[in-house]
Structure 1
Amino acid sequence: MTVITGLELSPRKVDYLKFILKKGRTVKTTEISSSFKVDPSTTSKTLNELAASGYLNHVPYKGVDLTKQGEMYAEFLIRRHRIMSLLLSHYGLSSEEACEEVSRFEAYVSKEAVDKICSAMGHPMFGVCGEITHEKCFHDEHRHE
């Protein structure tokens, strides 16, 4: 498996993978286009790039779903969002403000930085946006049971 730096994808691609993971099923291109208010041809181009990079499977006439690599990466993306949102909420932003603010810059925060922030915060299990999972992201010395 390729080492994840957290900086592999553009903000739009990050949003698409998180969206597909949250749906938990095959998602049609038109559903993604309308959710993000993007032209379907632009969405198709982005999805084809994600598929070529190994993150998605294209299911003809049905849409796209995550590969194992895509699922693991999307889980990291959700974890990163929740840790960064929790961090900002500790410095005066409301839950909603923190979530919105993190959405503006999260694609530029490395996995290494997220792991260090998570460790400094004591490996929180819950953030302002939901549960924070660690089992696929931790070094062996810090596994939660």
Structure 2
Amino acid sequence: MASPAADDYLKTVFAHTEWQDAPITPSVLAAKLGIAPSSVTEMVKKLAAAGLVSHVPYGAVRLTDAGTARALAVIRRHRLIETWLVREFDYGWDEVHDEAEVLEHTISDRLLEGIDARLGRPRFDPHGDAIPDADGRVEREPFVLLADAAVGHVGRVLRVSDQDPDLLRAVEAAGVAVGAEVRVTPSGVTVDGAELPVGEAAGQAIWLSV
């Protein structure tokens, strides 16, 4: 099943459980992809027949080993492209997702390898998401969602979700960046001693080291 649509499904299933444990259901998958549930049902059946996912009716969709390997290959392309656009073309971190969605299906393996080498084999993309290496290995340290972190917790910002460009711009304007050390307060975080309010949406979109 070599198709951009299949790759998008596999990438979405993987990404859903990358930073939390609840498995993805067909209805959630449909919502994330913006596709009718009936279309998702048909594609999931095809992916299952191809040995890329496991699924029982009305149950969760899970990647098989083969599906995970393919999802990681697509995610590697996507995140390397995002990093390339930010570093080499001065894109903002709020601008790269849609560009990478297109380019990940079109560039050659040779060009991808050249991008990886030019960038110095980066381990993380601009949002803090881990970039799988060529063998599909991923490095990630223990984390906690900001909304779940206790007041007084001190940690580095590991990741900011890239799903909402407006939120990314707001987080950047507030002075919160990947790699910054923050202390959790009742109303937000402090960075370099400055108090920064963080709303509920940001609390659900920022991950810290433990």
- Unpaired segments of 5 or more residues in structure 1? 1-6, 139-143
1:9 aligned residue = 3
TM-score by length of 2: 0.56
Aligned length: 132
For residue 125 of structure 1, the aligned residue among 100, 123, 126 is: 123
Matches within 5 A, 1:1-145: 8-10=2-4, 12-24=5-17, 26-89=23-86, 90-129=88-127, 130-134=129-133, 136-137=135-136
Q: Distance in 2 between matches of 1:13 and 1:109?
A: 17
Q: Which has the higher helix share?
A: 1
TM-score by length of 1: 0.78
RMSD of aligned alpha carbons: 2.3
Q: CA deviation at 1:135?
A: 6.0
Q: Following TM superposition, where does structure 1 have runs of at least 4 consecutive aligned residues deviating by more than 6 angstroms?
A: none
User: Could you say which structure has the larger radius of gyration?
Assistant: 2
Q: Which has the higher strand share?
A: 2
- Greater relative contact order (Cα 8 A, min sep 6): structure 1 or 2? 1
